Amino acid sequence: MNVLVLQDYAELSKKGAMIIAEQVNNKKDSILGLATGSTPLGVYKELAQMYEQGKIDFSKVITFNLDEYYGLPENHPQSYRYYMEENFWSKVNLQDENKHIPPSITDNIELACKEYDELIESHGGIDLQILGIGPNGHIGFNEPGKELYAKTHLAKLTQNTIEANSRFFPDKESVPKNAITMGMGSIMKSKKILLLANGNGKAEIIRKTIKGQITTNVPASMLQLHPNVTVLLDEKAASKL
Ligand code: F6R
């Protein structure tokens, strides 16, 4: 793992955007794996600025989001589709047909998951996957437990994740209990991975992810097995390394 420690969140966001821009500038039709949450917001802002300044062109880029809450209406302000539209998609020249995110409601979950994996595969897999990390070590919604899943699937959110994410909802009860998430397979098959973490709240899980044993109890620790992972941390998230 290539671990880079940046001074603060602003620097981390700039560096993250630079890495993504380099990928897109080298391969115009890059397949990007995208994450939501607080962590990548700064990166999306930087990328939108770079686009405004004519430094990056997303017209041929294809994106696949990691996950979507299950059961929320599509235009719900807490849905990840809404987040992506609000914070990134609407700010750059991505083509509508090139933006992909798992469905928030579907008649056939199994089929929808299978089709999502097949679509990723049909494009040759993900070139660069952006990841945040849950305080419990989840990536996407691959939650800690006895086993992990390779494929896109309906995941049950842990209590820890429901609590962490309740900050965006009126109360804990309103947080969806399930999400459709890419499995560990699509993530691990990405050619490159960019893991972002900032703040003291991520310091302990970053230590376990990078220096701890590889275990399904810390799904992100699996990334130790990937040949091309860059971890961008601010000083606070790196404070326990
Ligand atoms: C979001 C996702 C999650 C988040 C993680 C960290 O698409 O897949 O794994 O990356 O929960 O969230 P933040 O960045 O809000 O701390």
Answer yes or no: 29 catalytic: no
Q: What is the pLDDT of residues 139-187, one digit of tens each?
A: 999 999 999 999 999 999 999 999 988 988 988 898 999 999 999 999 9
> Ligand 1: residues within 6 Å at CB?
35-39, 66-67, 132-134, 138-140
Q: Does the pLDDT value for residue 215 go beyond 80?
A: yes
Q: What is the pLDDT of residue 168?
A: 86
The label of the residue with tokens 């302000």 reads 77
Answer yes or no: 67 catalytic: yes
Ligand 1 atom with the shortest distance to the CA of 36: 7
Question: Average pLDDT in the 186-205 region?
Answer: 97
Q: What is the pLDDT of residue 223?
A: 98
The C-alpha atoms of residue 94 and residue 61 are separated, in whole angstroms, by 7
225 C-beta neighbours (distance < 10 Å), count:
9
Answer yes or no: 75 catalytic: no
Question: Is the overall model pTM greater than 0.75, yes or no?
Answer: yes
The C-alpha atoms of residue 132 and residue 113 are separated, in whole angstroms, by 21
Confidence of residue 132 (pLDDT cuts 50, 70, 90): very high
Identify which of 33, 34, 42 has the alpha carbon closest to the alpha carbon of residue 6.
42
Confidence of residue 19 (pLDDT cuts 50, 70, 90): very high
Question: What is the torsional sign of CA 144, 150, 155, 156?
Answer: negative
Q: What is the pLDDT of residue 116?
A: 98
Q: What is the pLDDT of residue 74?
A: 74
Q: 67, 117, 127, 234: which is the annotated catalytic residue?
A: 67
The C-alpha atoms of residue 66 and residue 141 are separated, in whole angstroms, by 8
Q: Does the pLDDT value for residue 9 go beyond 80?
A: yes
Distance (angstroms) between ligand 1 centre and the Cα of 119 equals: 23
Confidence of residue 73 (pLDDT cuts 50, 70, 90): confident
The C-alpha atoms of residue 8 and residue 15 are separated, in whole angstroms, by 11
The label of the residue with tokens 């939650």 reads 143
Do residues 99 and 89 make contact, with C-beta atoms less than 8 angstroms apart? yes
Q: State the average pLDDT for the chain.
A: 96
Question: Average pLDDT in the 193-205 region?
Answer: 98
Q: What percent of the chain has pLDDT over 70?
A: 100
Rounded to 5 degrees, φ, ψ at 96 are -55, -40
Identify which of 185, 63, 61 has the alpha carbon closest to the alpha carbon of residue 114.
185
Pocket test for ligand 1, best of 32, 36, 186 (most atoms within 8 A of CB): 36
Answer yes or no: 138 catalytic: yes
